[in-house]
Amino acid sequence: MKNLVLGLGNEIKKDDGVGLVVTDLLAEKLDDTSLNFKTLNSGKLMILDEVKGYDKVFLIDSVKTETGSPGEVYFLDLQDMHPSEGVSVAHNFDLRILKENETYEGEELPDVQLIAIETKNPFEFGEELSNELEGKISDIVKNIAIFIRDNVQISSENFSIKNNNFINPNH
């Protein structure tokens, strides 16, 4: 089974880059051959081209809700979302495309799990995460790693975390 962890974000918009940071940390820490890791910087993202050929995709992105606190992680299944909700990420991509289409260019689309990380302000410019988010990055990465392990049905003995230090090495 081929699995993709796909981080989305904008590396010059502080917290909006959290999907990129988390995906890079997961790639460094998780040791399993069934997992592939990619990041896509903001703009017109060709997500459909990136997910072709995978069985399961974990899409990691930032989100800003009215009631959430920075660092909260939401695990959402596209199949549970109602099409009229118009749920989209901040990167010009409507998630309904993945839900409503079974194939793309003749290939079956994968099962997609959206992992949304609550941010302080996804529109503020800067290359570093906010202090609120940076202080929680270790817990965020660890929780997402466990979620991925449990959802790709990798046994604990075949799934290793290279070291339990999930601190962002860039800070």
Q: How does DSSP assign 117-162, residue by residue?
A: EE-S-TT--BSS--HHHHTTHHHHHHHHHHHHHHHTT--GGG-EES
Taking residues 117-140, what's their average pLDDT? 92
pLDDT digits (tens, 9 = 90+) for 38-65: 998 865 457 777 888 899 999 999 988 8
Neighbouring C-beta atoms of residue 44, cutoff 10 Å:
8
- pLDDT of 130: 94
Lowest mean pLDDT among 10-14, 102-106, 126-130: 102-106
The dihedral through the CA atoms of 143, 145, 146, 148 has a sign that is positive
Angle, alpha carbons 141-142-145 (nearest 5°): 85
- The strand pairing partners of 113, in sequence order, are 58, 77
- What pLDDT is attached to residue 151? 87
Spatial contact of 158 and 34, defined as CB atoms under 8 Å apart? no
Number of domains the chain contains = 1
Residue 32 lies in a domain: yes
Mean pLDDT on 63-79: 87
Confidence (pTM) = 0.81
Residue 169 included in any domain:
no
Q: Which CATH number covers residue 123?
A: 3.40.50.1450
Share of the chain above pLDDT 70, in %: 70
Is residue 131's pLDDT more than 90? yes
Range list of H helices, the chain: 18-29, 47-51, 96-100, 131-134, 137-151
Indicate the pLDDT class of residue 121, thresholds 50, 70 and 90.
confident
In a domain, 108, yes or no: yes
Task: Look at residue 139 in the predicted model and tell me its pLDDT.
Answer: 95
Residue 167 lies in a domain: no
Per-residue pLDDT, 87: 45
Structural domain span for residue 40: 3-161
The answer to whether residue 168 is domain-embedded is: no
- Checking if the pLDDT of 80 tops 70, the result is no
| Contact indicator for 119, 62 with CB cutoff of 8 Å | yes
For 65, counting Cβ atoms within 10 Å of its Cβ (0-12 exposed, 13-18 middle, 19+ buried), the class is exposed
Q: What's the pLDDT at 50?
A: 83
Instruction: Select the more confidently predicted residue: 14 or 85.
Output: 14
